[in-house]
Structure 1
Amino acid sequence: MYFIFSKVLLFLLFPLNWIIIFLLIALFSKRQKLKRKCFITGVVLLIIFSNPLLLYLFAKNWDVNSAPLNKNKVYSSVIVLGGFSGEDKNGNGVFNENADRFIQGVKLKEEGRVSHILISSGNGNLGQSKFKEAVWTQSVLKEFNLPDSAVLIEPDSRNTFENATFSKQILQKAHLQPPYILVTSAYHMRRSLYIFKKEGMDVVPYSSGRITSNVKFSFLDYMMPDAGVLAGWCTYLKELIGLTVAHLK
């Protein structure tokens, strides 16, 4: 029930949905005063949530940087959180915009920084699907010639709470000792760290896919509305709500 409720709540709180609602009311309402107020509200929200600078400033303060790794230590495992792939219309796995999670996890293994790699992800969709991200990723890792003995999968989690709980069980069963390296996107790391530590796991953050990297922007870049920024706000609002729920739980 919590899983379904969280999905519905996120849908209701996404800025684009409210912008559409206000503009539709402005379009179809017969009350001129209400029409004007809803139109102005919708336009103001659109301007705010399509501004790259505002999202950049929020992300800069929200994202978690990677912690320095001990250069003289080989960590027992890197935990790579899913969400970096999905299934196409034929049910085949494909990488998405979060693929840097997978890349950084494999990179740590190839560089000899860890002895094992754990992929933690089942299927977080509300609809029925047999696709299991961790299972599909295991087949991809075989193509990278990683030995089966170095790969662990956790294919049942649907959210970050279950990522932490199930990963802990698998790592303890495999007798792999902490600390572990935790890999996920920079925007997701704050919530993930909190949940994993509440689960009693000693993890070191290793963030991927930062949108606030050292890219040079002009003043015009920050002022011009960008439709992609709306999607960015959806991502960060999801994290903000998720962290709030984690604290309440």
Structure 2
Amino acid sequence: MFFILSKTLHFLLMPFLWVLALLLGALFLRSAQKKRICLVAVLVILVVLSTPFLSNEAWRAWEVAAVPIRTIGHYDAAVILTGVTSYREDIPDRINTSRGSDRFLHPLQLYRAHKIDKFIITGGHGKVLGGGVPEADQIEKVLLMAGIPAEAIITESNSRNTHENALNTASLLQQHPGINRLLLVTSAFHMRRAAGCFAKAGVAATSFSTDFYSKPRQFTPDELIIPSVDAFGSWHLLIHEISGYLVYKVLGYC
């Protein structure tokens, strides 16, 4: 039930849906004052959320900062949170990745640098209806193709959200008492929630953020004045993540 509710919340927090609802209000409401309020609200949302500089500032404030690789010590394993692959029935003969593949590419870099010994991949499939190939299994295949030995990869493929990632990883670690020093790897925007969940589950791990949406500040016309569809679209993910973090806090998950 919680999984379905989270998917519903993801839809309702879409700024495009807000704009559409307000435009419908301006079209069908009888009151001229309410029509103006709806139109002004649409204008404010479009201007604010499509300004790249404001979007970047929001991302910079929320994302957990990067840790230089040179400062990373040695860890027994990197815990990789999934959410960056998808299974397509029409092209099942390959691994399909989306933005966020740094979640497993950066740990691969750390492995080659002898900073981690193993990979713990946690995550099932994210479909509300039907089944699919667990994402942990898909990332495992990528690592195997990259030459990582099978004995260096541990997978957990039942989790469907961050809360379950933490609980199932904690249970998995009980079967591997030799794994103590952990590096938690996920996207920078997701690290607050992930780190909180793992700490709540009793799993001590050092955060290692990847997949950054923020960038250095630029005071240029294209950042300050010119509207951007990409900036507008990125707010959906950020609003969803902040809302998810707050819900997890209320529920005591993190």
CA distance in structure 1 between the partners assigned to 2:72 and 2:28 by the alignment = 66
1:192 paired residue number: 194
Q: 1:148 aligns with which of 146, 150, 162?
A: 150
Matches within 5 A, 1:81-230: 81-90=81-90, 92=92, 93-214=95-216, 216=218, 218-230=220-232
Contact 1:65–1:205 (CA under 8 A) maintained in structure 2: no
SS in 1 for 2:78: strand
Q: Taking structure 1 as the reference length, what is the TM-score of the superposition?
A: 0.91
SS in 2 for 1:173: coil
1:32 paired residue number: 32
CA distance in structure 2 between the partners assigned to 1:91 and 1:31 by the alignment = 52
Q: Determine whether 1:42 maps to 2:29.
A: no
Contact 2:25–2:35 (CA under 8 A) maintained in structure 1: yes
Range 60-69 or range 15-24, more displaced: 60-69
SS in 2 for 1:153: strand
By how many angstroms is 1:29 displaced?
A: 4.0
2:238 paired residue number: 236
Inter-CA distance 148–45: structure 2 relative to 1 (3 Å threshold) = same
Inter-CA distance 217–138: structure 2 relative to 1 (3 Å threshold) = farther
CA distance in structure 1 between the partners assigned to 2:155 and 2:195 by the alignment = 20
1:5 paired residue number: 5
By how many angstroms is 1:215 displaced?
A: 7.0
Contact 2:56–2:215 (CA under 8 A) maintained in structure 1: no
Matches within 5 A, 1:12-27: 12-27=12-27
Contact 2:72–2:115 (CA under 8 A) maintained in structure 1: no
Range 7-16 or range 195-204, more displaced: 7-16
By how many angstroms is 1:70 displaced?
A: 8.6
Note the residue ranges of structure 2 that are not aligned, 5 or more in a row.
none
For the aligned residue pairs, the C-alpha RMSD in angstroms reads: 2.1
Contact 2:59–2:214 (CA under 8 A) maintained in structure 1: yes
Residue deviations 1:165-205 (CA, integer Å, cap 9, x gap):
11122222122332310111111111111111111111111
By how many angstroms is 1:226 displaced?
A: 1.1
CA distance in structure 2 between the partners assigned to 1:223 and 1:17 by the alignment = 24
Inter-CA distance 71–209: structure 2 relative to 1 (3 Å threshold) = closer
SS in 2 for 1:17: helix
Inter-CA distance 136–204: structure 2 relative to 1 (3 Å threshold) = same
Q: Taking structure 2 as the reference length, what is the TM-score of the superposition?
A: 0.90
Note the residue ranges of structure 1 that are not aligned, 5 or more in a row.
none
- Counting matched residue pairs gives 249
Contact 1:91–1:131 (CA under 8 A) maintained in structure 2: no
CA distance in structure 2 between the partners assigned to 1:72 and 1:186 by the alignment = 17
